[in-house]
Amino acid sequence: MINLEQSSTFAGIKDKNNVYRAVSHGYIDVYQFDTQQKVRGMHEYDIADYAYTSEHVNPLAIADNLINEDLEVLSGKSLFVFDSLIIHDKLVFALGHKTPHIEHNRITGTLFQAIFFPNISKQMVKQYLSNPDIIVSSHTHKHLDIFNLAPSRKYALSKRELECVTLLVKGASANDIAHTLNLSKRTVDFYIRNVKDKLNVNKSTEIVATAISEGIV
């Protein structure tokens, strides 16, 4: 078990009512509290009111997202969460891990830990968005759209359409894509037409140019 009193990592424990019981030194560094003691007894809504300064997402809505994640953890689940927050006017991204906090063989709250990414790339964002084992909250999606960190979302490309674009960028023909994805060429042509419409281009070469210039793949 992590020693929160001494740890420089980002971590904390909340009880079943979303009240903070303990946080690490790493937590107070990120949230700019003077001491760990100041956080104890605060509710998730108190944290949101104090720290979240996004003009794009209501801080209380962010708190609701976090609370809903905790409800899943309290049912016994372990979650990996790709998260973004604007904390005291600074946009931060992190990969969090939430697990049940167990005392005397009972779940008494949520233990959370996170690793922060000071310089996140669009490729890294894409990997997290495409991972079915990672939760991405609605407020994180909002931040990705606002700051144009997930171009495939900007154009509302489906998973299959994005796969076709990726293969086009690699030089594959429609026949090659059909073989690779185990689809008919007619189906691939349908996806490529959809992509052209969404990107507002007329040729496959223009799909490739847009995909590269805007970091879609």
**Alpha helices per DSSP H over the chain:** 25-31, 44-51, 59-74, 122-129, 138-146, 151-154, 159-169, 174-181, 185-199, 204-213
CB 97 within 8 A of CB 12: no
Same domain for 143 and 41: yes
Calculate mean pLDDT across residues 186-207.
94
Question: Which range (88-92, 185-189, 210-214) has the least confidence?
Answer: 210-214
Residues 79 and 101 in one domain: yes
* Rounded percentage of the chain residues whose pLDDT exceeds 70: 99
Residue 16: inside a domain, yes or no? Answer: yes
* Amino acid 158: pLDDT: 85
User: Residue 1 corresponds to which tokens in the numbers above?
Assistant: 């078990």
pLDDT for 2 equals 64
- For the stretch 100-123, pLDDT in tens is 999 999 999 999 999 999 888 888
Q: Is residue 111 part of a domain?
A: yes
**Over 80: is that where the pLDDT of 66 sits?**
yes
Mean pLDDT of the chain: 92
| Domain co-membership, 144 together with 183 | no
Domain of 109, in residue numbers:
10-121+139-148
Query: Mean pLDDT, to the nearest integer, of 176-196?
Result: 95
Question: What integer is the mean pLDDT of 48-54?
Answer: 94
Residues 21-32 have pLDDT tens digits of 999 999 999 999
Would you place residue 1 in the very low, low, confident or very high pLDDT band (cuts 50, 70, 90)? Answer: low
**Dihedral pair phi/psi, residue 112, rounded to 5°:** -125, 145
| 3 has pLDDT over 80 | no
Using the predicted structure, report yes or no on whether residue 52 has a pLDDT greater than 80. yes
Parallel/antiparallel/unpaired status of strands 79-87 and 134-136: parallel
* Strand order from edge to edge, sheet including 79-87: 20-23, 10-15, 106-117, 90-103, 79-87, 134-136
Tokens of 34: 């003077």
**Is residue 72 located within the same domain as residue 112?**
yes
Tell whether 159 and 95 lie within a shared domain: no
Q: What 3 state SS string does 149-192 have?
A: CCHHHHCCCCHHHHHHHHHHHCCCCHHHHHHHHCCCHHHHHHHH
Q: Does a structural domain hold residue 131?
A: no
The more confident residue out of 191 and 150 is: 191
Residue among 180, 90, 83 nearest 129 (CA) = 83
Q: Is the pTM of this model over 0.85?
A: no
The lowest-confidence range among 90-104, 114-128, 179-193 is: 114-128
Whole-Å CA distances, 177 to 25, 146, 167: 50, 32, 7
Indicate if 179 and 90 belong to the same structural domain: no
- On the question of pLDDT at 15 being above 60, the answer is yes
112's tokens: 């959370």
User: Domain check: are 19 and 79 in the same one?
Assistant: yes
22 and 87 together in one domain: yes
Task: Give the total number of structural domains in the chain.
Answer: 2
Domain boundary at 129, 148, 167, which?
Answer: 148
Q: What is the CATH number of the domain that holds 106?
A: 3.30.450.20
DSSP 119: S
Same domain, 109 and 14: yes
CB-CB neighbours of 54 under 10 Å: 20
**Are 159 and 143 members of one domain?**
no
Helix axes 174-181, 159-169, angle to 10 degrees: 130
DSSP-assigned letter for residue 200: T
CB atoms within 10 A of CB 145: 14
* 181 in the same domain as 90: no
Is 67 contained in some domain? yes
Q: Which one of 103, 130, 148 terminates a domain?
A: 148
Whether 51 is covered by a domain: the verdict is: yes
Task: Identify whether 59 is part of a domain.
Answer: yes
Model pLDDT, residue 153: 77
Q: What is the pLDDT of residues 122-174, one digit of tens each?
A: 888 888 887 889 999 989 988 998 888 887 777 888 889 989 999 999 999 99
Residues 96 and 183 in one domain: no
